[in-house]
Amino acid sequence: MAKHLFSSGDLVADRRATYARLLAEAGDFAEAAELMEQALEQAPDWAAGWFRLAEYAEKSGRKEAAIAALETVLGLDPTDVFGAGLKLALLGAAKTPAAPPARYVERLFDDYAARFETALVERLAYSVPEKLTALILDHSGPDARFPVVADLGCGTGLFGAAIRPRAGRLEGFDLSANMLARAAEKGVYDHLARADLSRPAAESGLFDEVMPEGRADLVAAADVLMYLGDLAEVFPSVARLTRPGGLFAFSVEDGGEGDAPVLRPSLRYAHPEIFMRRRAAEAGFAIVAVTRETIRMDAGAPVHGLLFLARRGAV
């Protein structure tokens, strides 16, 4: 996998790719693309190289060349670990996927795990775990306790640490093994496991013989749903996980006044409030509260989000 992602396996190609990267870092994307094309003549089956070429071509104004390079990436790597399909959609060359490829999301967070908290909290002023916890307690009472809490997309455990004083049993689930390892270091979870929220509930990893349906008093998804697209599998899974009367607290990037998710240049999805209300209602959840918040900074600009608290109706 390391060769697939980082090296072509050819010394000449790798050397030219390194020079191309240096040119790109200096802002010379046209020259970087030309040198990357030379590298790929040496290593034509290098998917990561084609993805890098697409980036340089796009930034040098060669949209069609970027599209062709991304299509090559998909041909070489149908699992789409690089998110080439998302980039094609942004370039207008493909339909927007209903959800990003699971392998892309897994790699993204596996790579990000070691620097996640430093980048997000210290540099980008990320505040969703605290704000989501405050929203829960505002509507449940300052002394509220939840016998079973499930933290979906737990990452390194930021929400887990915030909710731990209110939780009896705290479960954490994530697609990324590296994120789960970081979460384990915090020592706040009673159970950690890998789960894929883009899969149907029975295949998600949320349930087994010792983790039954309808067990959670509180389910949370802090800054997770923007990586899951149209959420077709998410709300049904959460409904099966949550006991009747239980709470689901979650955040999204604000998708504005539309009625469907929007894929942004960040390769994250933004979700309109009306869309989230519809998804919640379809799964038997009633919205208790919605707040609009700045959830983090990105390239020096605030990212606006929506924080929701919903309650599952009686079966």
Residue 23 CA neighbour count, 13 Å, CB half: 22
Q: Which two three-digit tokens encode residue 149?
A: 């809490």
In a 3-state reduction of DSSP, which class is residue 33? helix
Name, in order, each residue with C-beta under 8 angstroms of 53's C-beta and a sequence gap of 6 or more: 33, 36, 37, 40, 65, 69
The token pair at 295 is 């959830």
Per-residue pLDDT, 113: 84
Do 45 and 156 lie in a common domain?
A: no
Q: Are residues 74 and 119 in the same domain?
A: no
Residue 254 lies in a domain: yes
Q: Give every CB contact of residue 193 below 8 A, 6+ residues apart in sequence.
A: 171, 172, 173, 180, 205
Instruction: Give the pLDDT confidence score for residue 51 in this predicted structure.
Output: 97
Using only the alpha carbons of the chain, give its radius of gyration. Answer: 21
Residue 143 belongs to domain spanning: 109-312
**E strands in 142-221:** 146-152, 167-174, 191-194, 216-221
Q: How wide is the angle at C-alpha 152 spanned by C-alphas 166 and 140, nearest 5°?
A: 35
Q: Measure the CA–CA gap between 59 and 82, rounded to whole angstroms.
A: 17
In a domain, 102, yes or no: no
Q: Per the domain annotation, does 117 fall within a domain? A: yes
Alpha helix (H) residue ranges in 146-283? 158-163, 177-186, 234-241, 273-282
Residue 119 pLDDT: 77
Q: Which two tokens stand for residue 187?
A: 């020592």
Q: What is the pTM of this model?
A: 0.92
> Using an 8 Å Cβ cutoff, are 73 and 47 in contact?
yes
Query: Does residue 100 belong to any structural domain of this protein?
Result: no
Q: How many angstroms separate the CA atoms of 33 and 264, rounded? A: 24
- The residue out of 72, 95, 118 marking a domain boundary is 95
Which residues is 130 bridged to in the sheet?
Answer: none
Q: What is the pLDDT of residue 5?
A: 56
Total domains present in the chain: 2
β-bridge partners, 51? none
Which pLDDT value is given to residue 263? 96
Tell whether 294 is covered by a domain.
yes
pLDDT at 2 (0 to 100): 37
Q: Are residues 45 and 176 in the same domain?
A: no
> Does some domain include residue 63?
yes
In a domain, 162, yes or no: yes
CA 282 to chain CA centroid, nearest Å: 23
Domain shared by 304 and 239, yes or no: yes
Other C-beta atoms within 10 Å of 68: how many? 15
SS3 content of the chain, % helix, strand, coil (to 5): 45, 25, 30
Q: Which pLDDT tens digits describe the chain residue by residue (315 residues)?
A: 333 456 888 999 999 999 999 999 999 999 999 999 999 999 999 999 999 999 999 999 999 999 999 999 999 999 999 999 999 999 999 999 999 999 999 999 998 888 888 877 777 788 999 999 999 999 999 899 999 999 999 999 999 999 999 999 999 999 999 999 999 999 999 999 999 999 999 999 999 988 999 999 999 999 999 999 999 999 999 999 999 999 999 999 999 999 999 999 999 999 999 999 999 999 999 999 999 999 988 888 899 999 999 999 975
The predicted pLDDT at position 245 comes to 97
**Are residues 145 and 257 located together in one domain of the fold?**
yes
Residue with tokens 């690089």: 82
DSSP 297: E
